Structures are given as structure tokens and as C-alpha cells.
Structure 1
Amino acid sequence: MSASHSPNAIDQPNLREWLDEQSRILGFDGLRITDTHLGSATERLNEWLAEGRHGQMEYMARHADLRSDPGALVPGAVRVICLTMNYLSPAIDFDGEWQRLADPSQAAVSMYARGRDYHKVMRNRLQEFAKLIESRIGNFGYRVFTDSAPLMEVELARKAGLGWRGKHTLLLNRESGSTFFLGEILIDVPLPIDEEQESHCGTCQSCIEVCPTQAIIAPYQLDARRCISYLTIENPDSIPVEFRRAMGNRVYGCDDCQLICPWNKFAQRTALPDFAERHGLGRASLLQLWSWTEAEFEKRHEGSAIRRIGYSRWRRNLAVALGNALIAPEVTNEDKLHIRQALMEAQAEADPLVAEHISWALKA
């Protein structure tokens, strides 16, 4: 990486103010800067991987060396501009989310996934921001990221002062809780760095206690193999039987640890239309989503993060939730009859992954 930027431009006393202003104009909600040194976080990552807590996310282990050294990922990088973007739609109400989780006939889709794919939204705006910086200081070396490469994003954001790691391992911020996406621009410009924040979780254990599958095995320690977000999204195989009942009606991701977190009373709503709910994903019943054909799934999830799990995993997750609805006392006998009929009608033509979960559901 080479740079031809002017030192005088970099040293402008109002450059940081300009960066903050431009980031807000582009829709980002927080900006901090840190260096590329990760310290003890590398050791903790290696221990986590050695214990197999990453499950089948083999890419975590495959690129562990790059995760531990951003300078290797982007040669010449000396700083990381870390940014946040709030995703919570104004239509979302936490009390309403708890009510949905308590209704076994309804589908619970993680709040962050109901709008456009954040990868695309963030990446485009990060790229635009980098070009604006270039127009200000001259040519410089950079690369943008948002959950798109082996980069320890949460650790870098923590170091930069955007928040602290909660006991659920997500980043928490006093101004906006945890309902935001992270993005980074690795640069070869030695900008001044920001200070870290202190942790403010105190003695609270709410996220640990509320986790349906006890995936938070200790404060700041997550076993992804037990996490419903992993099981419904990253896991390509059958959902382990021991976790199926605990999934309830969660068909894509899980928000429980965020919904219970006291800091999320400060969660900020986004003004970006990109993250507005699409196709009724915050209101749909399990049977409504089950009725989608593969073509409908592809069409309705076009531009959505959900689309990447594919139709088979989507149906697998729904089959588990429908099986849970069949044993729920809150669901009427008439609705259970409709559920059982819908599952039986789909069983013959289902692929082996989905068929196995349908069989499990029908045994309720």
C-alpha cells in the first residue's frame, strides 16, 4: 500500500470535525479511530477456536492469522476508522417483540434482518466515505469492510472507543445500546487515535439468564454451537434435537439477549429507509412464511441478508418452529390441524434436510 497524501492536509486541526460531519451526512451514527494492534484479543480468539466454539464456521479458523493482524490483511494499514450505523426501525417496539416471542403461531425474525442486507448498505456508504476522504487529503491506501473479511470488528470498535463488550460479547454503547452495525476503513494514514471506553455492565447477568439455549456459558464467553443465531443461520446441517424446543418460534436469528439488556432502553431508531421492515417479516405467522414457494422466497428476500441461507435452511427453521407450535397450549386445535396438514403436504417433496425436521415436528 502506498500513499501520496499531503501531511499538511492530514494535520489540519479541523479534519476530525470534518470526518465526524461527513460520516453523519452519510448515515453513520458513530465514528472512532484506533490502531491495528489487537493485543490479547488474538490469544482469546485462538483459545475460542481451539475449544471448537465456532462450530462449523470454518472460515473463522481458516483465516485466524489475518483476523489477528489487520496489517497482514491490508499491508501498510496503520489505522482503522470504525463506524456504527443504527438499524432499529421506528416501527419496532421491544414490548411487541416479547409478545411475538410468546405467541407460538407467529414467526420471530431477528430485528436486524427485516430490511435490506446491511452488507450492501454499509459497504456502499463506506466506499463513498473513503472517496470523500480522498478528495479532502489526497490519494491514500484504504480498504472498506463490514462483516465481509477476516477482521475482528467488535474488538477494533471496542479499542476505538465505540463501546464496550457486553457479557453477551456484543458491543454496547451508552448512547445507543447494541442495535447497530459495524463497519471499518483500514487506512495507511497515521490519524490520531481515540480512547477506549470503560465497561458499564456491572453485576447485571440478564443476557446470560435469558438465553434460551444457555449459549453464553460465562460472562463474555459465547459457545456459538448453542446460539440460536448460529443454529438458524450459519449451521448448514440438522439443528441438534436438544436445541429445537428452546428455539421456540425463532426462525432467523435471536434477539433475546438484546431485548433484555438494560442499555437498549437507549437504542436509537434509524432514519434510513433501507432498514425498514419488508414483506411483513415483523408480523408474519409461521404458516404464512411456510406457504412461500422457493421462487417467492428468492423474490421476497432479494436484497436481504436472509436470502443467503437458502430456501432449504429457511424451511428447516420453520419446520422446527411449527413443531413447537404443535405442542403449545396457546395454539388452538384448529390452528394445529392447519399446521399438521401443511407439514404433511410438504413432506413428500421436501429435501432430506427439511424432511427430517418435518418428521420431528409431526411427532409432537
Structure 2
Amino acid sequence: MTLQDPAATKAALHARAIEEGFSVMGICAPDAVPEAAGRLRAFLEAGRHGQMGWMAEREGWRGSAAALWPEARSVVMLAEVYTPDTDLRAVLAQRDRAAISVYAQGKDYHDLVKRRLKRLGRWLVAETGAGIKVFVDTAPVMEKPLAQAAGLGWQGKHTNLLSRDLGNWFFLGAIFTTLDLPKDEPARENCGSCRACLDACPTAAFPAPFQLDARRCISYLTIEHRGPVAEDLRPLLGNRIYGCDDCLAACPWNKFAVAAREIGYAAKVGAPPLEELARLDDAAFRERFAGSPIKRIGRDRFVRNVLYAIGNSGEARLRHVAEALAADPDEAVADAARWAAARLA
């Protein structure tokens, strides 16, 4: 061990985190958000998690970081910026092209952030001998409440984390450690009377400020939802085929956003033609989106989304593309194809 003073350890860890590419770091106690479990319970009881059964299955761990790993004494929260350098909403007017969420334009952030977290964690273990666990999105950890408790920012009315210094374009990662490090002051909410994010939502997915009904959220519908999407929601998807950035893009705090440092987040997918994407079979889909978070939803759900966009395009020339998939082996794809063809008739 070379670091023993907690304050010195925290300062050295912060310097190392910035060197690794993180934008900001904060620390909270594992039990810093006692109200999180109750909020999660209310969300689940209202059924607002939709088909995300995994949220209920690990509710105990998700509601309490202390329960997830009782040996932890500190939670180190880190933010990594992926700020886009273009106007994300411009593609929404190009109705024959696909609108894909900015976070999915480059390499899979799970891999990039976790790689950085592991390097930082290995350094901390080498310097202190402490125990650690690292998490990026896929574990039952409520990153946003913990990040607010650690002072990184606050959960806005769109329920995403935002910051005075970063806007709201950033990923979160966590390092749980057995070290008892000095804790940061929690961030205060600074949304005021603004409701830009709420008004920007195409599907009215926010029942109230600071509340989200995932069942109406386009990100949920295009990524997590299996099977056909409710017909009354399909026209509201527009040409969004993977995720939605409308509430994030509307936030005025983005005037303070900083540029992304990780080149892997640079846009590569772009806004491809819907006709081109609809023709992808499973092998072509996997090859095209290798290394991308888009790959996780599979060809069938992806093409289903593309067909909804085709139905919303108003482009009669795309009707034959939809008709060609009306007998697809996947029933959700076939249903979407028939709906799109009928819309364009």
C-alpha cells in the first residue's frame, strides 16, 4: 500500500480519473439515498417499468446500494461526456431516413466506460489494497440518485441527470469500494419553472415533472419493448428507430456542455435510409452493428422499428419495401409491415 490517508487517496483518485478521461468524480455513502427504495417501489407498483421485469426481480439490490454489497463503504461516481457536435433534431425532418439516438452512434459505451473504470479500479487496488466492484448500467445500481448524492448533478424533470458544468450528455459509471473515503455534498435541483424537456416529449411520457412512464417513452418502446407497439403510439415514433434524444436536447443547461474526449463516441452510424435498413437479414444486421449498442436489440426488433418509421414517412415509394416483409417469420415484423403498407396505401 502506498496511499493511506483518505483525503490524499481521494485527491489522487480524482486526478487519476481525469487522466483516464472522466469529466467529473464525486463520492457518496452506499446508504446516501434512503428514499430511493420507496420511489422504485412506487414506480414498479404503477407498472411504469413495462416489460422490464429485471427491475422488479432485483428490486432489493436496486433500491439500496448498501444491500448490493454490504462491505462497501464508499461509492465513487464518475461521469463521461458524449456531447454531440450536431443538431440531433434535424434528422427528424428527413422522414425517409432513420433517427438514431446519439449515444448509439459510435462504439458501445458499456465497453468504453467499463474499460476505463477497470483501469481506474486496478490503480486504486494497487495503491491501497482495497476491495472494489465496478458497474456500468447493466447491474442493479441506481446510478442517477447515487450520482446526485455524490454531487455530480441532479435528476431533472426528465429524470435524467444534468449538471451546471456538463449539461446532460454524459454516461455514468460507479466504483464501489471498501475504502471509507471523504464524501461530497449532494447536488441541489436547479430546474426551476422550466419544463422544456417535458414539452419536448413526442409521446407525453412524463405523467408529472420528475416522473417517467417508460411504457410511453420512445427509448423504451424502440429498445426494451418486445412484440408490437400499441397502434396509437406508432405514429408518434416518427422516424426514431433506436432511442430518442428529444428531452435531452431540449434542456437549456446544455449551453454549458463540453465536448466529448472519447473519439469512440463520434458518430459513425449517421442517418441511413430506411429502405436500406429494412432489407437487413440477421447476418447483415449483426455485421453492420458489430460493436454498437444497437446490436443488443436484434434484427427483428430493429426492423420492426424501421417499418414503423416507413409507415410514418409519407413516402409512397416505400410501400413495396413494407409489403415485402408482410410475411416475415417474426410476427411483430410482419404486423409492422402490414401496418406500414396500409398507412402508405
Distance 1:195 1:12 in 2: 16
Task: Give the alignment of 1:169-188 within 5 angstroms.
Answer: 169-188=159-178
Which residue does 1:291 correspond to in 2? Answer: 279
Distance 2:185 2:270 in 1: 38
Which residue does 2:313 correspond to in 1? Answer: 325
Which residue does 1:63 correspond to in 2? Answer: 58
Amino acid at match of 2:80: M
Deviations 1:285-310 (A, max 9, x none): 21222233322210121111110100
Task: Give the alignment of 1:338-349 within 5 angstroms.
Answer: 339-349=318-328
| Cα distance change on mapping 1:291 and 1:166 into 2, 3 Å | same
Deviations 1:7-38 (A, max 9, x none): xx331643322212111111111100000112
Distance 1:41 1:13 in 2: 28
Which residue does 1:36 correspond to in 2? Answer: 30
Pair 1:313-2:313 in alignment: no
Could you tell me whether the CA contact under 8 Å between 1:208 and 1:217 is conserved in 2?
Answer: no
Amino acid at match of 1:294: D
User: Equivalent of 2:111, from 99, 120, 127?
Assistant: 120
Distance 2:86 2:78 in 1: 25
Q: Tell me the CA shift for residue 112 of structure 1.
A: 0.4
Distance 1:314 1:213 in 2: 20
Gaps of 5+ in 1: none
Gaps of 5+ in 2: none
Pair 1:15-2:9 in alignment: yes
Number of residue pairs aligned between Structure 1 and Structure 2: 342
Q: Which of 180-189 and 128-137 deviates more?
A: 128-137
Distance 1:103 1:111 in 2: 16
Q: Tell me the CA shift for residue 350 of structure 1.
A: 4.3
3-state SS of 1:182 partner: strand
Could you tell me whether the CA contact under 8 Å between 2:28 and 2:149 is conserved in 1?
Answer: yes
Amino acid at match of 2:24: G
Which residue does 2:97 correspond to in 1? Answer: 106
User: Equivalent of 1:224, from 211, 214, 218?
Assistant: 214
Distance 1:31 1:163 in 2: 11
Deviations 1:232-263 (A, max 9, x none): 00111211111100000000000000111101
Task: Give the alignment of 1:1-364 within 5 angstroms.
Answer: 9-11=3-5, 13-37=7-31, 38-89=33-84, 92-94=85-87, 97-137=88-128, 139-278=129-268, 281-326=269-314, 331=315, 336-337=316-317, 339-364=318-343
Could you tell me whether the CA contact under 8 Å between 1:115 and 1:275 is conserved in 2?
Answer: yes
Q: Tell me the CA shift for residue 175 of structure 1.
A: 0.9
Distance 2:175 2:7 in 1: 21
Q: Tell me the CA shift for residue 272 of structure 1.
A: 1.1
Distance 2:258 2:297 in 1: 28
Amino acid at match of 2:332: L
Could you tell me whether the CA contact under 8 Å between 1:10 and 1:191 is conserved in 2?
Answer: no
Distance 2:330 2:214 in 1: 26
Amino acid at match of 1:120: D
Deviations 1:287-343 (A, max 9, x none): 2222333222101211111101000000000000000013xxxx5xxxx22x11111
Distance 2:133 2:158 in 1: 29
Distance 1:236 1:100 in 2: 25
Q: Tell me the CA shift for residue 66 of structure 1.
A: 0.6
Amino acid at match of 2:116: R
Could you tell me whether the CA contact under 8 Å between 1:70 and 1:151 is conserved in 2?
Answer: yes
Amino acid at match of 2:114: R
3-state SS of 2:49 partner: coil
Distance 2:311 2:257 in 1: 33
Could you tell me whether the CA contact under 8 Å between 2:130 and 2:177 is conserved in 1?
Answer: yes
